[in-house]
């Protein structure tokens, strides 16, 4: 990101005749509006503040400002430990009384309101009506397609999905995808902006229910629900199976590379030839269980056992420390491998 007094002079995006000339360079964004400031909106606020942006937030809840400032204060030590951008400060946050004020001077808008389609449709239309016309607006939705959400906006071409992972101030991934009425420049702009803001970006060229990350983790989640529903495994066993098993590997090799290694020297080809037929057995029951009241209650009860009295604030602190530890450890290994490669002249 550029300092406050930097003037935007050059367009780094590929030329797109549809793109309004006034759209700021993604690298020159100074002010981000965050609409909705709960778990995810608040996490975005903390992230953008830590990257040195000015953030203007709006949330209709009465206690929103207090909650938001509490979230930022709780995240700040972790963010400081990771390294703040120059000038980054919680003092650069303003919480305003209206949506119109929040987006009036924004260079980018991140919407993180409740996951209800009618709320998203109405809110995106309101943001679109109030925000400067060249500004890209992203929704944090974890499931709706932009095609469904942009139907009432007058300028749907600048609306994109920017799907984060919790907490957005630590987990780097954002999935960016447009709807049928979104212009390609807006998708490209959002991806470049998120990269400039320190995120790891996947740009999707088509809408997919659940995007990519949720599609994968919800497959695991569906199986967890099945097992609890059938009394086959407890929440504690499911969590341990993941954290002491596949989850540990997935922090650095994804499921494809992990299973490539399951095939030894023969790699993925041998893995599929060897285990393919037997892997089909569990696939045959991959339909969603009914989320009955009983299953809901069993899941809540068992998860409470895993929580075992810890407060949400304690869990957030534990989660953040562990995420940072994993990220630091991986960064150290990366640096060590780079040094070794340089020494070996690779």
Ligand X SMILES: C[N+](C)(C)CC(=O)CC(=O)[O-]
Q: Which residues contact ligand NAI by CB under 6 A? A: 35-41, 59-61, 64, 112-115, 119, 123, 140-142, 163-164, 166
Closest approach of ligand X to the CB of residue 222, in Å: 12
Q: Binding to ligand X by residue 142, rule CB under 6 A?
A: yes
DSSP label at 26?
Answer: G
What is the phi/psi pair of residue 47, to 5°? -65, -50
Closest approach of ligand X to the CB of residue 194, in Å: 15
Quick count: other Cβ atoms within 10 Å of Cβ 29? Answer: 25
Q: CA-CA distances (angstroms) from residue 288 to 48, 222, 293, 297? A: 37, 6, 15, 17
Residue 119: contacted member of ligand NAI, ligand X, none (CB under 5 to 8 Å, by partner type): ligand NAI
Quick count: other Cβ atoms within 10 Å of Cβ 328? Answer: 12
Closest approach of ligand X to the CB of residue 247, in Å: 13
Does the annotation place 316 within a ligand binding site?
Answer: no
**What residue spans of 51-156 are helical by DSSP H?**
64-82, 99-104, 117-130, 146-149
For ligand X, which residue has the nearest CB? Answer: 142
Does the annotation place 39 within a ligand binding site?
Answer: yes
Closest approach of ligand NAI to the CB of residue 99, in Å: 7
Token output for 40: 């995810």
Q: CA-CA distances (angstroms) from residue 3 to 15, 19, 27, 66, 136? A: 25, 25, 10, 29, 20
Site track 227-246 with ligand X (rule: CB under 6 A), x = hit:
--------------------
Those residues with Cβ within 8 angstroms of residue 167's Cβ, 6 or more apart along the chain or in another chain:
39, 43, 46, 75, 316, 319, 320, 323
Does the annotation place 276 within a ligand binding site?
Answer: no
**Cα distance between residue 308 and residue 86, in whole Å:** 40
Bridge partners, residue 137, by sequence: 109, 159
Closest approach of ligand X to the CB of residue 39, in Å: 9
Q: Binding to ligand X by residue 214, rule CB under 6 A?
A: yes
Q: Binding to ligand X by residue 200, rule CB under 6 A?
A: no
Residue 192: contacted member of ligand X, ligand NAI, none (CB under 5 to 8 Å, by partner type): none
| 218 versus 223: smaller Cβ distance to ligand NAI | 218
Does the annotation place 87 within a ligand binding site?
Answer: no
Closest approach of ligand X to the CB of residue 217, in Å: 6
Residue 214: contacted member of ligand NAI, ligand X, none (CB under 5 to 8 Å, by partner type): ligand X
**Cα distance between residue 121 and residue 142, in whole Å:** 14
Q: Binding to ligand X by residue 318, rule CB under 6 A?
A: no
Task: Examine residue 167 and say whether the peptide bond preceding it is cis (omega within 30 degrees of 0).
Answer: yes
Site track 164-193 with ligand X (rule: CB under 6 A), x = hit:
-xx---------------------------
Q: Residue numbers of the site for ligand X (CB under 6 A)?
A: 142, 165-166, 214, 217
């Amino acid at each position: 990101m550029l300092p406050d007094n930097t003037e935007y002079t050059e367009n780094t995006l590929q030329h797109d005749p549809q793109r309004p000339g006034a759209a700021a360079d993604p690298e020159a964004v100074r002010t981000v509006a965050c609409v909705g400031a709960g778990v995810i909106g608040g996490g975005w606020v903390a992230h953008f503040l830590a990257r040195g942006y000015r953030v203007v937030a709006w949330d209709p809840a009465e206690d929103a400002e207090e909650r938001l400032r509490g979230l930022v204060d709780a995240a700040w030590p972790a963010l400081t430990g990771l390294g703040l951008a120059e000038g980054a400060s919680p003092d650069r946050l303003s919480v305003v009384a209206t949506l119109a004020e929040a987006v009036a001077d924004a260079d980018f808008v991140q919407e993180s309101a409740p996951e209800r389609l009618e709320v998203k449709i109405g809110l995106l239309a309101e943001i679109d009506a109030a925000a400067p016309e060249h500004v890209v607006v992203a929704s944090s939705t974890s499931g709706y397609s932009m095609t469904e959400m942009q139907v009432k906006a007058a300028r749907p071409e600048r609306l994109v999905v920017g799907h984060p992972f919790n907490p957005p101030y630590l987990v780097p991934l954002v999935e960016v995808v447009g709807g049928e009425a979104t212009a390609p420049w807006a998708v490209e702009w959002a991806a470049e902006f998120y990269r400039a803001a320190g995120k790891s970006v996947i740009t999707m060229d088509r809408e997919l229910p659940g995007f990519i990350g949720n599609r994968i983790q919800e497959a695991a989640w569906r199986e967890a629900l099945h097992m609890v529903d059938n009394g086959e495994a407890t929440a504690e066993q499911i969590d341990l199976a993941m954290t002491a098993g596949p989850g540990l590997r997935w922090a650095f090799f994804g499921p494809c590379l992990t299973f490539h290694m399951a095939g030894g020297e023969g790699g993925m080809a041998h893995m599929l030839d060897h285990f393919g037929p037997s892997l089909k057995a569990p696939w045959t029951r991959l339909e969603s269980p009914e989320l009955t009241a009983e299953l809901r209650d069993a899941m809540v009860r068992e998860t409470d056992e895993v929580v075992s009295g810890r407060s949400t604030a304690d869990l957030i602190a534990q989660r953040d420390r562990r995420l940072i530890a994993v990220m630091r450890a991986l960064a150290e290994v990366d640096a060590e491998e780079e040094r070794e490669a340089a020494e070996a002249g690779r």
